[in-house]
Amino acid sequence: MKLFYSPGASSLSPHIVLREAGLTAEMVRVDLETKMLPATGQSYLLINPMGKVPALEFDDGAVLTEGLAVLQYLADLVPASRLAPATGTMARYRLAEALSFVATELHKGFVPMFDPDVPASYKHSLIADTRAFDRIASLVQPGPYILGEHFTVADAYLYPILRLGRHAGLDFSSWPAVSHYMELVAKRPSVRAAMRAEGLIED
């Protein structure tokens, strides 16, 4: 398999999952500004016409796009990893619920925070609406992870998005459970290894 990624982007999520599950994949870096593959000069749009990461290419050349699909596919390759509950269980639907929330309300909802052309007043209005932050806190309590004792793909997705939000200026200090959760996930060996491989940390 090949995982197309950009350092620190949401593609960090499947990168973490690969390491959690003990799977291997060739990591192919994507320049999200030019939509090119720096290593080969190939247009990434030939692989994913939407130009987004992640994308997962299989040995037969087929490509799976959209983060939620990629995450669940990787988790289901190694059921013993418990990165996703069994299909058909309520826990699996809770996983889908959490993934959907992160994708729509956080990942897409806070995209304007990263756009320098978006007025500061609009960014402030996003931060002032605390419903998303309250929901994050409810997801990670009582913890330690979203679905309880086991780290899942929902955690692998939430953490990179919270990390991006923090870098964009979001302040989680009023939600101690969220800050504690971020510290907990950041210590996982798989997370540290993925971040180290992407050049996000040095130690």
- Domain match, 172 and 151 both: yes
CATH code for position 34: 3.40.30.10
pTM of the full structure: 0.95
**105 is a domain residue:** yes
Flag whether pLDDT at 162 surpasses 90: yes
Strands 42-43 and 36-37 turn out to be antiparallel
Residue 29 exposed, middle or buried by CB count within 10 Å (0-12, 13-18, 19+): middle
Flag whether pLDDT at 86 surpasses 90: yes
**pLDDT of res. 6:** 98
**202 is a domain residue:** no
Q: Which long-range contacts (CB under 8 A, 24 or more apart) does 189-193 make?
A: 189/19, 190/16, 190/19, 190/20, 191/16, 191/159, 193/19
**203 is a domain residue:** no
- Domain match, 97 and 145 both: yes
- Domain match, 105 and 175 both: yes
**150 is a domain residue:** yes
* Beta-bridge partner residues of 4: 28, 55
**pLDDT, mean of residues 132-145:** 95
Residue 121: which domain range?
85-188
Q: Average pLDDT, whole number, for the chain?
A: 95
- Domain match, 55 and 7 both: yes
Flag whether pLDDT at 167 surpasses 90: no
Flag whether pLDDT at 203 surpasses 80: no
- Domain match, 71 and 114 both: no
CATH code for position 127: 1.20.1050.10
- Domain match, 50 and 35 both: yes
Q: What is the pLDDT of residues 7-40, one digit of tens each?
A: 999 999 999 999 999 999 999 999 999 999 999 9
